[in-house]
Amino acid sequence: MLGAVPSVPTDLLACPVCRDVVTEGPGRVTCASCGRRYSVDDGVPDFLLSPPVDGLDAAPGPIGRSLGAIVGIPPVYDLVQRLAGVEETLTRVGRKLEQAAGALVLDIGGGTGRIEAVLPAAARYLWLDADRQKLRGFRTKSASPAILGDATRLPLMDRSLALRPRETPARRRRLET
């Protein structure tokens, strides 16, 4: 385990570049294969690659950048989410996650971590986002494990999480035929 707050078990972590294991060191984790070092701040490993891989994360133009900066402020982000109907979404997601008791739930693009509130008490939560500002907002609400990382380059070992596709009538029919 890393740092002072509950953190991600290092046996789940992987280098986002070469996919090999990482080892824990003071204030960092290091890839055993390629030697890349990733900082760990307050128990949160930072697996963001610099500069961004595709450059698509920058809002176009000065107005887009300004709006992005404003909406990126955690309380403003939460307000925008509420106005967009996040409560209804959280209710639906909460019903789907009722069976997650005892499981580790990875929240990709975790934002300020609102989904954690709808998890069963016995579920374990793991936050992942690429936004340091959202991490600060998340930390005001939770001490659960967190990773700064890119969803397109998950810094997790292959097969470290069990993914269960949503069961729908159409999917069930396909599986039965």
Q: What is the DSSP string of 52-67?
A: -SSSTTSPSHHHHHHH
Residue 72 lies in a domain: yes
How would you classify the pairing of strands 44-45 and 28-31?
unpaired
pTM over 0.95, yes/no: no
In a domain, 65, yes or no: yes
Q: Which two tokens stand for residue 133?
A: 């500002």
Q: Tokens standing for 153?
A: 């380059």
Domain boundaries, position 131: 10-176
Per-residue pLDDT tens for 86-106? 999 899 888 888 888 888 899
Residue 1 lies in a domain: no
Domain count for the chain, please give it: 1
- What is the percentage of the chain residues whose pLDDT exceeds 90? 56
Q: Cα-flanking dihedrals φ and ψ of residue 122, to 5°?
A: -85, -5
Neighbours of 96 (CB within 10 A): 12
Residue 34 lies in a domain: yes
Helix then strand then coil, % of the chain, to nearest 5: 35, 20, 45
* Residue-averaged pLDDT of the chain: 84
Quick check: is 5 in a domain?
no
Residue 2 lies in a domain: no
> Does residue 73 fall inside a structural domain?
yes
Report the pLDDT value the prediction gives residue 52, as an integer from 0 to 100. 53
Task: Please give the structure tokens belonging to residue 11.
Answer: 């046996």
Q: Quick check: is 123 in a domain?
A: yes
**Is 90 exceeded by the pLDDT of residue 57?**
no
Average pLDDT over residues 98-118: 91
